[in-house]
């Protein structure tokens, strides 16, 4: 009787152990698969180097905004734009500084921290391991690297077009801020002119 109980317990433990292993093993496989996919997504994100796209966009934006929002150019077209402040005025450097702050604020909006992390996550979520391996193989090749450089240049060209299209963003919050700051400078200028 005792031996029957021992046999029953061994059989019960073996069956339950087998059941537990069968239930838990897929979790380890899934975790390994997810980790592998995440690593592959990170590798692909690094190869694609999208981190340089916002930096390039920001640089292009600053160049374009500097040309579009040059206080001297605005003054030439509209001499009363700054309430009587001229480029020769002691207040002029403050007008220029206000516009520079505006340009930085507009262009800073294009800077996204952690772009490669975002790309890695999206790649891992959107592509299978097989697709990730194929993409990594391609982008590791000379042709893939050439494609990456061309892709970044195309994004730079797109950012230039977008910046040109938005060269006069008069409804933006940043524009309202610079107008308020210029208005304050003009007010001080007019009070001190008396």
Domains in the chain: boundaries: 2-193
Regarding pTM above 0.75, the answer is no
Residue 192 structure tokens: 């001190």
**Residue for token pair 């938005």:** 166
pLDDT the model gives residue 64: 58
What values do phi and psi take at 158, rounded to 5? -60, -45
Judging by beta carbons within 10 Å of its beta carbon (0-12, 13-18, 19+), is residue 5 exposed, middle or buried? exposed
What are the residue ranges of helices labelled H in 49-114?
A: 52-68, 71-77, 92-108
Q: pLDDT band for 62, please (50, 70, 90 cuts).
A: low
Q: pLDDT band for 25, please (50, 70, 90 cuts).
A: very low
pLDDT the model gives residue 86: 92
> Does pLDDT of 13 surpass 50?
no
């Amino acid at each position: 009787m005792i031996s029957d109980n021992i046999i029953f317990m061994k059989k019960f433990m073996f069956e339950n152990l087998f059941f537990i292993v069968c239930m838990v093993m897929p979790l380890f496989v899934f975790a390994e698969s997810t980790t592998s996919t995440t690593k592959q997504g990170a590798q692909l994100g690094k190869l694609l180097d999208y981190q340089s796209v916002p930096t390039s966009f920001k640089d292009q934006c600053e160049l374009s905004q500097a040309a579009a929002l040059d206080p001297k150019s605005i003054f030439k077209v509209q001499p009363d734009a700054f309430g009587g402040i001229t480029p020769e005025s002691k207040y002029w450097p403050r007008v220029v500084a206000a516009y520079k702050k505006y340009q930085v604020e507009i262009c800073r909006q294009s800077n996204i921290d952690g772009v490669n992390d975002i790309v890695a996550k999206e790649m891992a979520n959107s592509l299978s391991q097989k697709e990730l391996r194929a993409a990594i193989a391609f982008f590791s090749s000379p042709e893939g690297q050439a494609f990456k450089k061309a892709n970044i240049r195309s994004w730079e060209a797109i950012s230039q077009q977008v910046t040109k299209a938005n060269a006069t963003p008069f409804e933006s919050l940043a524009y309202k801020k610079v107008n308020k700051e210029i208005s304050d400078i003009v007010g001080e200028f007019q009070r001190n002119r008396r």
